[in-house]
Structure 1
């Protein structure tokens, strides 16, 4: 970093209007600094501290030397993924009302601060110089703090005026929360499932249900062939482009599901806001195999709209290849995902 770079960083901030409000949401201390104008773009800046996150990080650092490599199965990795995450109360904000003025959200950015990140330190210094006085985070390490920037839609030549003791109101989009289940399930290809599957998570004591309608094996290579044979593709791409994309996809997919192998698909009904995630027990208890080509995700839609109970029919695909003659699949209902409507946030 040099003087010219610092001057460039400072020149990006054209205007600052402080709000200086503090609240606590789900254990997270949130300091709403104010609105900053970069050129013609406005951002609401919020500094956050999650004590539970700090404790998890410290516990992980203490246990890391004791963790044996043999524990690193796919199960361990899937369970660890997202287990140490800070709560982000403003992640799904749809609109912000400042003294009744509505600002639609263009996007929300949340990142952890770093004392080596000169831009972040300089930015916070500028807010403090303007009179911002964050509360409850005075002695916390800077690399345990998060900053959320909520950019508003539209272009502005100046920050709209609002009272010093401003009222704030946030409306939220829907969000998805995942819950660990790890419930063994024996799946029978083309079998009959007369009983509902009941399950719950330790994190969510409420019992939930699913009605499996059928389990079948899907030939993903045949599905890809149908997709690339769709004449509508030629409305957007030349035949040579389609052929090139097809070759690249097939080359990558061979590593995940060789020709002649199939993916199991579970069609089921459940509560409206619940979706399921299955894995085979063999996969979960195996050591991870690192693929050169990353990962490929698939979404499968059922042919029918409703199932045997009259509820919406959903699909879950197990992206682990099995042979065509597979009948019994020892699996686990590993997680369920629940769509929620976060509560609105109001600050006076």
Structure 2
């Protein structure tokens, strides 16, 4: 590092206007630092601190053995760790911001963990402090436990609009998803009847939920992909060379996930409107993580729009290949995903 490097970082910001409003939302301290302008672009910056996240990190460090390897022993541990390291981000994603009478649409909203090793993070804090920013609620917290949200505002700006400290700020957030641990063992019978509801609990809160499985079947994903590539609308969008290359690349990568002749299990179910389910086989959860060269996600739409209870029918793909004569699968309802609607958050 040299002085010119620091100078380049500092020169990226042409104008700063401090806001410094702070509030606690969903147990998370949110400090709206202010606005920055670089060239004709303007960003709103928000620092957030989740105390529960810091506690989880501390507990994770305390339980880690000194000589323990960083690689998780199983896929179960890997996915638990991924979820445990998620902090609550109360003001994210941001779709619109109202500052006083001004309305600003957000075209990019991104959030990341701060780091004392990141010089840009530290210099950004220094610049705001030099401009009178008061880090209320987060001034004594470890910088590495803070999350910075950047909301890039639509439009071209030659200067940051005027406002004073009493100006109300209103955020409109978008839809977001939050995963909740379950880890309930379930035996799935291919083609079986499911007359009873499947009851399960949130592993953290004990909150009870239910699902009604409608059917479990095996799907030949290779046959489905052939249907997709045979669609004339797909072929019309590419040259013959591009189409051949795209199909060849897909087949090469998909072979790593599902050999020809193997099928993916599909679970069709009904449940509460705002949640969806994730199933994994017990064998997969207890096996060591594999570092494949590619990763794919698949969505399957049920043939019917509603299920036996008259509710929206949903489908979960278990992305683990099984033979076509498989009759039962030992799985776990590992997580449920809750979709949280957008809302308005007002800071006065």
Q: TM-score range by the shorter chain?
A: over 0.9
Structure 1 unaligned runs (5+)? none
Find out whether 1:41 has 2:41 as its counterpart.
yes
CA distance in 2, matches of 1:60, 1:338: 25
1:10 to 1:275, Cα distance in 2 relative to 1, 3 A: same
8 A contact 1:190–1:215 mirrored in 2? yes
Find out whether 1:220 has 2:221 as its counterpart.
yes
Aligned-pair CA distance for 1:76: 1.5
CA distance in 2, matches of 1:28, 1:316: 32
Aligned-pair CA distance for 1:167: 1.0
1:79 to 1:67, Cα distance in 2 relative to 1, 3 A: farther
Partner of 2:54: 54
8 A contact 2:33–2:45 mirrored in 1? yes
Partner of 1:2: 2
Give TM-score scaled by structure 2 length.
0.93
CA distance in 2, matches of 1:67, 1:261: 40
Find out whether 1:116 has 2:121 as its counterpart.
no
Stretch deviating more after TM superposition (31-40 or 336-345): 336-345
Q: Deviations over 1:79-135 (max 9, x none)?
A: 221202222121122211111322111122222222332222222222111111212
CA distance in 2, matches of 1:315, 1:193: 15
Stretch deviating more after TM superposition (59-68 or 21-30): 59-68
Structure 2 matches for 1:1-348, cutoff 5 A? Answer: 1-65=1-65, 72-291=73-292, 293-341=293-341, 343-348=343-348
Give TM-score scaled by structure 1 length.
0.93
Aligned-pair CA distance for 1:7: 3.0
CA distance in 1, matches of 2:27, 2:273: 29
Q: SS of the residue aligned with 1:324?
A: coil
In the comparison of the two structures, how many residue pairs are matched?
Answer: 347
Aligned-pair CA distance for 1:137: 3.1
CA distance in 2, matches of 1:119, 1:181: 39
Stretch deviating more after TM superposition (64-73 or 40-49): 64-73
CA distance in 2, matches of 1:208, 1:51: 27
CA distance in 2, matches of 1:175, 1:71: 27
CA distance in 2, matches of 1:60, 1:67: 14
1:67 to 1:326, Cα distance in 2 relative to 1, 3 A: farther
Q: SS of the residue aligned with 2:191?
A: coil
8 A contact 2:174–2:343 mirrored in 1? no
CA distance in 2, matches of 1:194, 1:54: 44
Aligned-pair CA distance for 1:214: 1.1
CA distance in 2, matches of 1:342, 1:203: 24
CA distance in 2, matches of 1:340, 1:49: 20
Aligned-pair CA distance for 1:67: 8.3
1:209 to 1:156, Cα distance in 2 relative to 1, 3 A: same
CA distance in 2, matches of 1:51, 1:306: 41
Aligned-pair CA distance for 1:31: 2.1
1:253 to 1:87, Cα distance in 2 relative to 1, 3 A: same
Structure 2 unaligned runs (5+)? none
8 A contact 1:305–1:313 mirrored in 2? yes
Q: SS of the residue aligned with 2:306?
A: coil
1:142 to 1:71, Cα distance in 2 relative to 1, 3 A: closer
Aligned-pair CA distance for 1:66: 6.1
8 A contact 1:31–1:46 mirrored in 2? yes
Aligned-pair CA distance for 1:25: 2.4
Stretch deviating more after TM superposition (92-101 or 47-56): 47-56
1:204 to 1:340, Cα distance in 2 relative to 1, 3 A: farther
